[in-house]
Structure formats: C-alpha cells, structure tokens
Amino acid sequence: MTKLKISTRLRNGIKDVEGDAILKKLQDIGIDMTSCEVGQVFYIDMKQWDEQQVCDILVNDLLYDYTVELIDA
C-alpha cells in the first residue's frame, strides 16, 4: 500500500478570499496577524498510483501549486 500526502496552495497572483476573510476575523478579535493563506491537504492510501492522474483529479493546476510526498511505500 502506498500512502501519499498531496498539499495545495494558491498560485502567486490568485486572490485568497478565504484566507483574507479568516485574517480579518482574527484581527477583529485582537489577534496580531499580518497574513493567512488557505490550502488543502489530501492523504491517500493506494495500491497502485499514477501521480499525474491523481493530481489531475484532485488539483486545479490553473489555480493551485501542489506537492506530492510519499509517506509510506
């Protein structure tokens, strides 16, 4: 069994509306922050895998950069 960790974050220049909303809420309650970015992490257990095929399904690569880590082989 192969275990993968796929992490995403918005590409440079793409507005992070969710991150901005979180930042504003936390600043409104007095937390001293200057930035907040929102991404996703997928943990997948697979018998066989094709990195490109899996990432094509999970990640919109027009909006997101991503990394793939092999956790366990």
Q: Quickly count: other Cβ atoms within 10 Å of residue 4's Cβ.
A: 18
Mean of pLDDT values over 24-33 = 96
Tens-digit pLDDT profile for residues 35-70? 999 999 999 888 877 777 888 889 998 999 999 998
CATH number at residue 21: 3.30.1280.10
Q: What's the confidence (pLDDT) of residue 29?
A: 96
Structural domains in the chain (count): 1
User: Measured between alpha carbons, how far is 68 from 72 in angstroms, rounded to an integer?
Assistant: 12
Containing structural domain, residue 33 = 2-72
What's the pLDDT band for 23 if we cut at 50, 70, 90?
Answer: very high
Q: What's the confidence (pLDDT) of residue 73?
A: 58
Q: What's the confidence (pLDDT) of residue 46?
A: 84
User: Measured between alpha carbons, how far is 27 from 59 in angstroms, rounded to an integer?
Assistant: 30
Long-range contacts for 55-63 (Cβ within 8 Å, ≥24 apart)? 55/6, 58/6, 59/6, 59/8, 63/10, 63/11, 63/14
